Structure 1
Amino acid sequence: MIEFINVNKTYPNGVTALKDINLKIEQGEFVAIIGLSGAGKSTLIRCINRMHDINEGTLNVNGVDVSNLRGKQIRKFRRKIGMIFQSFNLVTRTSVINNVLVSSVPELPSWRKTLGLFPKDKKIAALEALDKVGILDKAYNRVDQLSGGQQQRVALARTLAQNPSIILADEPVASLDPVTAKVVMDDFKRINQEMEMSILINIHHVELALEYADRVIGIRQGEIVYDGKSEEVTQEVLDSIYGSVTEIPHMNNPEEANV
């Protein structure tokens, strides 16, 4: 479970990204976070794994107060939280399986890290993760031979190989075409349902949020202005999230996605 209690986040430049956030996310939920760029969406999910520190309030993840973690505790804590980025964050000049195996590096002794020698069980886990996202046949291809959608699925497989309880995704389909974006979102949904894994996605495309997420959180200027079921999102709700913006980002207008 993830719980924000009166959480505030202000950056050193004085910008307040989160204002008095109170939020509880149960294990196994699929949550989409929507809002304009700069509204605080990325900050919200990056506070969960301590990529950003909060200034005030309490943030508990699976019973752990993340603000109290230090050094090795943070690294161990992050092992159970997968993070997926828009830019994939892959090493493109090596193989797909090597990129997935990177997830096991923190657990290996120094000599294995130095030589790049991975135990058999880690290799099996990497192959199983690739199978779950439908690209097992690409395991020994170089990453730079894959399409953008396939690369994002490699990133998802790398995260699954960590065996996390939570996946955080920061605009995972923003750089993909509409058809490929839906394929990747299908993977997220299937993993959420089959593995009962909590998934939080920061996403610009409203119709994808409504189609795939069970719950939608709308953020405007650092504040939660909507938190409810995706099927209950109305035009009035969208107006409260996006304000006076006349064109809300949609998949058929990808140029609007970075409003």
Structure 2
Amino acid sequence: MIAFIEVNKTYPNGTAALQNINLTIEQGEFVAVIGLSGAGKSTLIRCINRMHDITSGKLIVDDVDVSKLKGAHIRKFRRRIGMIFQSFNLVTRATVLSNVLVSFVPELPMWRKWTGMFTKQHKIQALEALDKVGILDKAFMRVDQLSGGQQQRVALARTLAQNPDIILADEPIASLDPVTSRIVMDDFKRINKELNISVIMNIHHVEIALEYADRIIGIRKGEVVFDGATSKVTQAILQDIYGGKWEAEQAAIEEQASYVG
């Protein structure tokens, strides 16, 4: 369970990124966070794994006060939380398997880190993760030989290999064409349901969020202005979340999607 309790986040320049956030996310939920660029979506999800520190309030993950963790405790905590980025963060000149094996580096003894030698069990887990996202046959290909969608699936496999309880995804389909986006979203949905992994996703593509997520959190100027089931989202609610700029935002997203496609 993830609980935001009166959480505020203010950046050093005085920008209030999050204001009075109160949320509870149960294990196994698929949550999409939507809102205008700069509304605080990325900040919200990045506070969960301590990529950003909160300024005040409490952020609790399974009875752990995240803001009080230090040093090795933060690193151990982050092992339970996978992070997927828009940019994939892969070593493109290395093989797919090598990129997935990277997820085990933090737990290796120093001599294995120096030599790059992974155990048989690590290799099995990495191959199983690739199988879960349907690209086991690409294991020994270089990443730069893959399509954008396949690269995002490698990033997802790398996250699955660490056996997380939670997956945070920061605009995971922003650079993908519409068809590939749905293939990747199908992976997220299947993993969410079959493995009971919580998925919290920051996403601009609202129509896809409404199709795949169970719950929508709408952020405007750092505040939660909507939190409810996907089925409860109306055009009026979307207009409120986007501050009256709903149509303009969607037009911009559609234009970008046509360019990517």
Quickly name the TM-score band, shorter chain normalised. over 0.9
Bigger helix share: 2
Aligned to 1:45: 45
Once the 2 structures are TM-superposed, how far is the Cα of residue 156 of structure 1 from its aligned partner? Answer: 0.2
Quick one: distance in 1 between partners of 2:99 and 2:257? 30
Once the 2 structures are TM-superposed, how far is the Cα of residue 255 of structure 1 from its aligned partner? Answer: 5.8
Asked whether 1:247 is paired with 2:248, we answer yes
Are the equivalent residues in 1 in contact too, given 2:177–2:257 (CA < 8 A)? no
Once the 2 structures are TM-superposed, how far is the Cα of residue 249 of structure 1 from its aligned partner? Answer: 2.6
Uncovered stretches (5+) of structure 1, i.e. residues with no partner: none
Quick one: distance in 1 between partners of 2:102 and 2:42? 24
Once the 2 structures are TM-superposed, how far is the Cα of residue 190 of structure 1 from its aligned partner? Answer: 0.1
Quick one: distance in 2 between partners of 1:73 and 1:256? 44
Aligned to 2:146: 146
Shift >6 Å, 4+ stretches: none
Counterpart residue type for residue 65 of structure 1:
D
Counterpart residue type for residue 102 of structure 1:
V
Aligned to 2:110: 110
Task: Note the alpha carbon deviations across 1:1-59, whole angstroms, 9 max, x for none.
Answer: 00000000000011000000000000000000000000000000000000000000000
Aligned to 1:90: 90
Once the 2 structures are TM-superposed, how far is the Cα of residue 62 of structure 1 from its aligned partner? Answer: 1.3
**Matches of residues 46-61 of structure 1 in structure 2 within 5 Å?**
46-61=46-61
Quick one: distance in 2 between partners of 1:210 and 1:73? 36
TM-score where L is the length of structure 2: 0.96
**Matches of residues 1-259 of structure 1 in structure 2 within 5 Å?**
1-245=1-245, 246-249=247-250, 252-254=254-256
Counterpart residue type for residue 180 of structure 2:
T
Q: Give me the CA root mean square deviation.
A: 1.3
Quick one: distance in 2 between partners of 1:214 and 1:243? 23
Once the 2 structures are TM-superposed, how far is the Cα of residue 252 of structure 1 from its aligned partner? Answer: 3.8
Question: SS at the partner of 1:159?
Answer: helix
Q: Aligned pairs, how many?
A: 257
Counterpart residue type for residue 106 of structure 2:
P
Once the 2 structures are TM-superposed, how far is the Cα of residue 63 of structure 1 from its aligned partner? Answer: 1.1
Inter-CA distance 181–255: structure 2 relative to 1 (3 Å threshold)? closer
Quick one: distance in 2 between partners of 1:81 and 1:134? 22
Task: Note the alpha carbon deviations across 1:181-207, whole angstroms, 9 max, x for none.
Answer: 000000000000000110000000000
Once the 2 structures are TM-superposed, how far is the Cα of residue 256 of structure 1 from its aligned partner? Answer: 9.7
Quick one: distance in 2 between partners of 1:163 and 1:148? 24
Are the equivalent residues in 2 in contact too, given 1:100–1:161 (CA < 8 A)? yes
Question: SS at the partner of 1:5?
Answer: strand
